[in-house]
Structure 1
Amino acid sequence: MSRTPTVLLVHGAFADAGSWSGVIAELQNHGIPVIAPPNPLRGLASDAAYVAAVAAQIDGPVVLVGHSYGGALITVAGTAENVVGLVYVAAYVLEEGESLGELQGRFPLSPLVSNLKEWTYPVEGAKSAVEVSIKAEAYPEIFAADVPAAVTKVLAAAQRPLAAAAFEESAAAAAWKTKPSWALVAGSDQAINPEVERFGAKRAGATIVELEGASHAVAVSRPKEVADLIREAVQATS
Structure 2
Amino acid sequence: MSPASTPTALLVHGAFADAASWAGVVAELQSHGVPVVAPPNPLRGLASDAAYVASVAAQIDGPVVLVGHSYGGAVITVAGTAENVVGLVYVAAYVLEEGESLGELQGRFPDSPLGGSLTQTTYPVEGAEPAVEVSIVPEAFPSVFAADVPEDVTRVLAVAQRPLAAASFTEPAGAAAWRTKPSWALVAGADRAINPEVERFGAQRAGATVVEVEGASHAVAVSQPKTVADLILDAIRATG
Q: TM-score range by the shorter chain?
A: over 0.9
In the alignment, the residues of structure 2 paired with residue 164 and residue 17 of structure 1 have an alpha-carbon distance, to the nearest angstrom, of 20
Amino acid at match of 2:162: R
Matches within 5 A, 1:8-23: 8-23=10-25
Unpaired segments ≥5 residues, structure 1:
none
TM-score by length of 1: 0.99
Match of 1:116 among 101, 115, 118: 118
Figure out how many residues of one structure are paired with residues of the other and give that number: 238
Query: Which residue in 2 is equivalent to 1:156?
Result: 158
Query: Which residue in 2 is equivalent to 1:105?
Result: 107
Query: Which residue in 2 is equivalent to 1:220?
Result: 222
Fraction of identical pairs, as percent: 80
Secondary structure in 1 matching 2:5: coil
Query: Which residue in 2 is equivalent to 1:175?
Result: 177
Describe the superposition over 1:67-126 as per-residue Cα deviations: whole angstroms up to 9, x where unpaired.
Answer: 000000000000000000000000000000000000000000100001100010000000
In the alignment, the residues of structure 2 paired with residue 61 and residue 197 of structure 1 have an alpha-carbon distance, to the nearest angstrom, of 26
In the alignment, the residues of structure 2 paired with residue 160 and residue 177 of structure 1 have an alpha-carbon distance, to the nearest angstrom, of 30
Amino acid at match of 1:66: G
Amino acid at match of 2:134: V
Match of 1:210 among 209, 212, 215: 212
Unpaired segments ≥5 residues, structure 2:
none
In the alignment, the residues of structure 1 paired with residue 12 and residue 56 of structure 2 have an alpha-carbon distance, to the nearest angstrom, of 11
Describe the superposition over 1:24-80 as per-residue Cα deviations: whole angstroms up to 9, x where unpaired.
Answer: 000000000001000000000000000000000000000000000000000000000
Describe the superposition over 1:179-216 as per-residue Cα deviations: whole angstroms up to 9, x where unpaired.
Answer: 00000000000000000000000000000000000000
In the alignment, the residues of structure 2 paired with residue 159 and residue 74 of structure 1 have an alpha-carbon distance, to the nearest angstrom, of 20
In the alignment, the residues of structure 1 paired with residue 227 and residue 74 of structure 2 have an alpha-carbon distance, to the nearest angstrom, of 21
Match of 1:29 among 28, 31, 43: 31
Q: CA RMSD in A?
A: 0.6
In the alignment, the residues of structure 2 paired with residue 115 and residue 23 of structure 1 have an alpha-carbon distance, to the nearest angstrom, of 27
In the alignment, the residues of structure 2 paired with residue 67 and residue 115 of structure 1 have an alpha-carbon distance, to the nearest angstrom, of 19
Secondary structure in 2 matching 1:111: coil
Match of 2:199 among 176, 197, 200: 197
Describe the superposition over 1:151-199 as per-residue Cα deviations: whole angstroms up to 9, x where unpaired.
Answer: 0000001000000000000000000000000000000000000000000
TM-score by length of 2: 0.99
Query: Which residue in 2 is equivalent to 1:165?
Result: 167
Amino acid at match of 1:53: S
